[in-house]
């Protein structure tokens, strides 16, 4: 259906731009009833990189690759009207309602607008722009230095983030929407902004380096940053196509009063090169905690799905997210957001979908957290035990695994083919990982990791036997990561409030990976590491 790149709730149903078509959902957020609108007036030239949706003056407006149309309010089906504004090809056509006008971006650096009578005005194509209610940012250094990527409004200004696709720094312009020139701009320390959100009437941006920045009244200051490998580059932030970037312009939203971002994690050097600390999916910023990975996207269909994965670590492309908490309070209603993305349906094949989050919390989840390297306060320490304090486990299938490593050895990624729920095959030599760990990054079984109990080889094919069961996985391909994590403890007791796992190594540092399989609201409170100085030989 194409990557879902914009969502709006209008005429008592949800709408989404999905590739070249508009999709609608006349039911609730809790089912999979999105379908091609497919009426006579529907446009078929939408584009996930360039199109947008916005509600203005009691109507729903939609930009295609080259035109602008509106749907009036009323009982569906409502016909789309004729073209209101001709737009240039291959550029973003973002929409924003501000005051009594609708603003439309075009040709990388221009902003047009329409009044409530749908009369459009456009900026001067050259020379100094004198047309009110429009902008021509190319006048301030050229269109490549002012490629518009995002546009949001506070109560007083429209804020416009741009990329500098030449050498130099990017900017965020602010504009009252009326005069023919910006009111001013803030220069960034990076080459530009790729997404923006307004929270408490304050602009926040995501820049090309994956930093989340907040406007402090004078400049944009960094408050958090995605944890990517610093000698790598996040996916195509300077590309003109919005879905090629690591975040879409509509891929940031306020959900339950927190900033949520839908992030693609593939680095620019390879289609499946990803960092261990940067899973794809929803990242949430909490002022009291910071920026953390909140959830991954799973194959599991909400209405009638079975669990074949616990979430995809890798997403090849990402689209829009929006708050979507149902206020009808009907029994079984679920979810607080809608999410649109492209995913791998196996090791290499891509598909698109719309997701909701399981807010009712009835589906089994698997996840893990990584500590930083914990260094000895001496030259080296003997690491004795890790203690974990937690809420009593709520379900008999809930499990916590404790793993550690004391050496940073490079991992190996490989394509695997599932044989059954506890074994798979690969043509990559993984004999060295017997006793260590396999984590499935994408494809069936995604989002879960397990200790490897054995590897055998026959004719260049390696059969991997796993300690844990990957429920629902009996066939299909996937990408797996093999790493040197040592499992030292497994906890399933529903009565205890703490447990410990032995280590017994003397090293300069140690790092932990805590894996969790929960159904419901289980909690881990904290960790305590017992160690003693190691006596070095003279």
The predicted pLDDT at position 443 comes to: 92
Number of domains in the chain: 1
Mean pLDDT score of the chain: 92
Q: Give residue-wise pLDDT tens across range 237-276.
A: 888 889 999 999 999 999 999 999 999 998 876 555 788 8
The predicted pLDDT at position 269 comes to: 63
**353 assigned to some structural domain:** no
**455 assigned to some structural domain:** yes
Residue 33 has pLDDT above 60, yes or no: yes
Q: Which residue has the higher pLDDT, 453 or 12?
A: 453
**212 assigned to some structural domain:** no
Q: How far is CA 16 from CA 3, 47, 62, 501, in A?
A: 10, 11, 10, 48
- The β-bridge partners of 284 are 260, 292
Both tokens of 374, joined, read 């914990």
The predicted pLDDT at position 154 comes to: 98
Q: Give residue-wise pLDDT tens across range 325-378.
A: 876 656 666 788 999 999 999 999 999 999 988 777 778 889 999 999 999 989
Q: What pLDDT band is residue 222 in, cutting at 50, 70 and 90? A: very high
**524 assigned to some structural domain:** yes
Residue 8 has pLDDT above 90, yes or no: yes
CA-CA distance, 340 to 322, in Å (whole number)?
Answer: 9
Residue 29 has pLDDT above 80, yes or no: no
Q: Give residue-wise pLDDT tens across range 45-84.
A: 999 999 999 999 999 999 999 999 999 999 999 999 999 9
**358 assigned to some structural domain:** no
**479 assigned to some structural domain:** yes
The predicted pLDDT at position 363 comes to: 84
**467 assigned to some structural domain:** yes
pTM: 0.94
Range of the domain at 498: 366-533
- DSSP per position, 362-403: -S-EEEEEEPPPEE-SSS-EEEEEEEEEEPPP-STT-EEEEE
Beta strands in 188-295 (DSSP E): 193-199, 202-207, 211-215, 220-225, 252-255, 258-263, 281-286, 290-295
Percent of the chain beyond pLDDT 70? 96
Average pLDDT over residues 146-174: 96
Average pLDDT over residues 477-489: 96
**110 assigned to some structural domain:** no
Please state which of the ranges 203-212, 396-405, 476-485, 517-526 shows the lowest mean pLDDT. Answer: 517-526
The predicted pLDDT at position 180 comes to: 97
CA-CA distance, 370 to 513, in Å (whole number)?
Answer: 5
Q: What pLDDT band is residue 234 in, cutting at 50, 70 and 90? A: confident
């Amino acid at each position: 259906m194409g990557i879902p790149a914009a969502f709006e709730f209008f005429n008592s149903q949800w709408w989404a731009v999905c590739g070249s078509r508009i999709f609608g959902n006349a039911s609730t957020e809790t089912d999979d009833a999105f379908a091609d609108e497919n009426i006579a007036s529907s446009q078929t030239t939408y584009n996930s990189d360039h199109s947008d949706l916005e509600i203005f003056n009691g109507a729903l407006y939609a930009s295609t690759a080259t035109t602008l149309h509106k749907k009036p309010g009323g009982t569906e089906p409502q016909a789309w009207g004729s073209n209101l504004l001709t737009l240039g090809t291959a550029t973003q056509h973002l929409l924003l309602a501000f005051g009594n006008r609708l603003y439309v971006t075009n040709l990388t650096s221009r902003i047009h607008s329409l009044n409530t009578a749908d009369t459009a005005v456009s900026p001067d194509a050259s020379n100094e722009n004198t047309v009110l209610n429009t902008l021509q940012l190319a006048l301030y250094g050229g269109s490549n230095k002012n490629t518009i990527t995002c546009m949001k409004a506070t109560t007083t200004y429209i804020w416009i983030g741009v990329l500098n696709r030449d050498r130099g720094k990017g900017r965020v312009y602010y504009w009252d929407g009326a005069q023919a020139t910006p009111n001013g701009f803030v220069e960034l320390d990076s080459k530009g902004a790729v997404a923006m959100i307004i929270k408490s009437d304050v602009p926040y941006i995501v820049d090309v380096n994956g930093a989340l920045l907040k406007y402090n009244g004078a400049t944009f200051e960094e408050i958090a940053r995605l944890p990517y490998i610093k000698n790598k580059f996040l996916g195509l932030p300077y590309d003109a196509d919005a879905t090629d970037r690591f975040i879409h312009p509509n891929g940031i939203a306020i959900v339950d009063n927190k900033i949520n971002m839908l992030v693609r994690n593939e680095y620019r050097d390879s289609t499946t090169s990803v960092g261990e600390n940067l899973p794809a999916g929803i990242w949430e910023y909490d002022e009291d905690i910071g920026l953390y990975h909140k959830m991954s996207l799973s194959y599991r269909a909400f209405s009638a799905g079975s669990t074949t994965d616990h979430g995809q670590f890798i997403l090849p492309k990402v689209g829009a997210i929006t708050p979507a908490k149902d206020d009808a309070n009907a029994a079984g209603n679920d979810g607080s957001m809608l999410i649109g993305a492209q995913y791998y349906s196996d090791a290499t094949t891509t598909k698109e979908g719309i997701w909701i989050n399981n807010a009712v919390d009835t589906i089994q989840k698997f996840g893990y957290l990584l500590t930083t390297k914990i260094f000895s306060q001496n030259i080296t320490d003997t690491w004795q035990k890790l203690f974990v304090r937690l809420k009593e486990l709520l379900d008999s299938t809930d499990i916590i695994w404790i793993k550690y490593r004391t050496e940073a050895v490079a991992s190996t990624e490989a394509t695997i083919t599932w044989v059954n729920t506890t074994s798979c095959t690969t043509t990559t030599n993984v004999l060295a990982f017997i006793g260590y760990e396999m984590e499935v990054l994408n494809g069936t079984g995604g989002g879960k990791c397990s200790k490897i109990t054995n590897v055998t080889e026959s004719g260049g094919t390696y059969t991997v036997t796993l300690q844990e069961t990957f429920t629902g996985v009996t066939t299909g391909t996937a990408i797996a990561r093999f790493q040197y994590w040592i499992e030292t403890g497994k906890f399933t007791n529903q009565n205890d409030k703490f447990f410990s796992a032995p280590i017994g190594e003397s090293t300069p540092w140690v790092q932990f990976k805590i894996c969790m399989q929960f159904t419901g609201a289980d909690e881990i409170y904290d960790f305590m590491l017992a160690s003693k100085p190691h006596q070095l030989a003279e």
